[in-house]
Amino acid sequence: MKFLDLAKVYIRSGGGGGGCVSFRREKFVEFGGPDGGDGGRGGDVWAEAVDGLNTLIDFRYQQHFFAKNGQPGMGRQRTGKDGDDIILRVPAGTEILEEDQETVVADLTEVGQRFLLAKGGNGGWGNLHFKTATNQAPRRANAGQEGVERTLWLRLKLIADVGLLGLPNAGKSTFLAATSNARPKIADYPFTTLHPNLGVVGVDNAEFVVADIPGLIEGAHEGRGLGDLFLGHVERCAVLLHLIDGTADDVVADYDTIIGELEAYGGELVDKPRLTVLNKIDALTEEEIAENRAALEEASGGSVMTMSGVARTGLIEVLRALRSHIDKDRLRMREGREEPQKWQP
């Protein structure tokens, strides 16, 4: 299944049915009079977060969602049938934006949340409503109210507890594969990861979700490489895991590149709790590890952990450090399961 995190949709609520102009004309009815019914209400357009979805791929093949119109009123005081509603079923974590892609209409973060995107039009009154003592045979009825038409953008921000950051080939996918049942693509060339991957990681009988996004390069906020399109997927994370390739020529420059891109992206992403880890220490000597670690601690102003995703060295310590930054209400406790469950788009 392909991954899609941005989709444009066109919606329109149903228009109300028109009122009816009608009079009673039965042969044996002594008093006639107006009996036109009201028009039915138009259908609404709703958005609902549902379980079992983690991509917006369905909206690639259908972009138009039009609710049904209400039926017109009829004689004998019969009201027209209301139009059927239409529901846009989206994954939890979907933001709904106006056509400018900036104004947030709704943010559906939990399964079961619903939001009214477009209200259906009211049905028009039939001529029965206009009967008065001085106008006992009105020949007028209201037309139904027109529906609302909108163009919206759907943007998915994955619900994850930990977000992985780093340059291409920093070892993010290797870390995800080593700690979960997810199987992201791993290779020795940049931009192996082309779309976000999710994995459920377990440590000390607790589980949390880790999101791996494509690597950032200098100038990503200006569209270089894959740009910063996928940074939105780590906005909801409780903690960020910043992996740095220990075999790089200048680990401090690599660190500054990612921090600079976070600052250019804006929002609260740069202020989130962040764990800095020197990766690929299996390819370094003890002296190189100590030198790179000291340089990173001076640049970051905090402690730096070390690990190797390939050799599985230091993984447990990193996972425990990540768990300490996640609130208890976000953790899922395991009961008798030794292996975490796979969850990958």
Q: Where are the domains of the chain?
A: 6-156, 162-333
Q: Is 313 annotated as a binding residue?
A: no
| Interval 273-293: pLDDT, tens | 999 999 999 999 999 999 999
Domain 162-333 in CATH 3.40.50.300? The answer is: yes
Q: Is 194 annotated as a binding residue?
A: yes
Number of H helices, E strands in the chain: 5, 17
Q: Is 81 annotated as a binding residue?
A: no
Q: Is 178 annotated as a binding residue?
A: no
Query: Which percentage of the chain shows pLDDT scores above 90?
Result: 51
Instruction: Identify which has the larger pLDDT, 172 or 330.
Output: 172
CB 146 within 8 A of CB 121: yes
Q: Is 279 annotated as a binding residue?
A: yes
Domain 6-156 in CATH 3.30.70.260? The answer is: no
| Interval 144-202: pLDDT, tens | 999 999 999 999 887 788 989 988 888 888 898 888 876 766 655 555 566 678 888 88
* Strand-strand pairing, 162-165 and 206-212: parallel
Q: Which residues contact 326 (CB under 8 A, 6 or more apart)?
A: 161, 162, 208, 238, 239
**Token pair 């953008």: residue:** 153
Q: Is 215 annotated as a binding residue?
A: yes
Burial class (CB in 10 A: 0-12, 13-18, 19+), 64: exposed
Q: 80-89, 210-219, 241-250, 268-277: which range is least confident on average?
A: 210-219
Measured distance CA(93)–CA(236) in Å, rounded: 9
- The region that residue 146 occupies, defined by phi over 0 for left and psi between -120 and 50 for alpha, beta otherwise, is beta
Measured distance CA(147)–CA(15) in Å, rounded: 4
Q: Is 193 annotated as a binding residue?
A: yes
What would the mean pLDDT of 72-101 be, rounded to a whole number? 94
Q: Is 214 annotated as a binding residue?
A: yes
Measured distance CA(109)–CA(290) in Å, rounded: 42
